[in-house]
Amino acid sequence: MPVFPERQDSGSAFPIPTHIAIIMDGNGRWALSRGLPRLAGHRAGTENLRRIIEACIEFGIRYLTIYAFSTENWGRPKEEVEGLMEIFEDVIDHELQELQDQGVQLRHIGRLDRLDPVFRNKVLHALQYTSDNSRLVLNVAFNYGGRDEIVNAIQRIIQDKIDPQEITAELVNRYLFTAGVPDPDLIIRTSGELRGSNFLIWQGAYSEWYFPPVYWPDFDKEQLRLALEEYGHRERRYGRVDQPREEQVDGHAH
């Protein structure tokens, strides 16, 4: 796990989440509402991602996980899938140094096998190149699905011949793609859709969710600030009921 530098004072009056995760939804509709092709929406979404990374650093967020491409997204029209792959490759080719200069450590969750070997090698190089950075961990969910991740973990637990008695939630955590990354405190899905869509289904068990009614390219720093403010007002109880001391009879919480 990276050793983070001291948090910059973000000036926030609220507790800042350590880890936020974002489903960057609505690129297609953003484009269509402007009479543009869907890929123009993905390009605008990429521009916005750059701004949000900067904002996360300013707010003192340590981990940002983004849903870039799901295991189900291969079912989109060929032209859109190819266009998205071009965008991802373009970002690695042209923005890696900028990310490095910003102190961003890139991580990947999902499957890299069965990808084009040239592309896969570029991804592996980018992960290695930024691995010593510690200002912000940018965890990119690419070819990722939450159920696929759990299936993968079960397969490896069985391959490792782990004694069933030793299988605990902590052990499962170590077999997930996110091993070593704390669970997301806050998950944001833009565009007004109210679904989880197979994103961080294990890790998000106690995450707070936030659904801003704007498309991803319009989710700007001020929108992020509103999300953080809302998060700061939430009471996280993890299934417990906080009772006044004298009412606690058996000392147990459920």
Is 27 considered catalytic here? Answer: no
Task: By CB under 6 A, tell whether 140 contacts ligand FPP.
Answer: yes
Residues 6+ apart with CB under 8 A from 237: none
Is 143 considered catalytic here? Answer: no
By rule CB under 6 A, what string of x and - marks binding of each residue 6-25 to ligand FPP?
A: ------------------xx
Nearer to ligand FPP, 72 or 229 (CB): 72
Residue 106's DSSP bridge partners are: 138
With vertex at residue 223, the alpha carbon angle to CA 67 and CA 203, rounded to the nearest 5 degrees, is 35
The pair phi, psi for residue 138, each rounded to 5°, is -105, 110
Q: Residue 29 is inside which H or E element, if any? A: helix 27-32
Task: By CB under 6 A, tell whether 145 contacts ligand FPP.
Answer: no
Site for ligand FPP in 55-84 (CB under 6 A): 68, 73
| Other residues' Cβ atoms within 10 Å of the Cβ of residue 210 | 19
Binds ligand FPP (CB under 6 A): choice among 16, 19, 20, 28: 28
d(CA 179, CA 159): 18
Task: By CB under 6 A, tell whether 49 contacts ligand FPP.
Answer: yes
Q: Which residue ranges make up the site for ligand FPP (CB under 6 A)?
A: 24-29, 42, 45-46, 49, 68, 73, 87-88, 91, 140
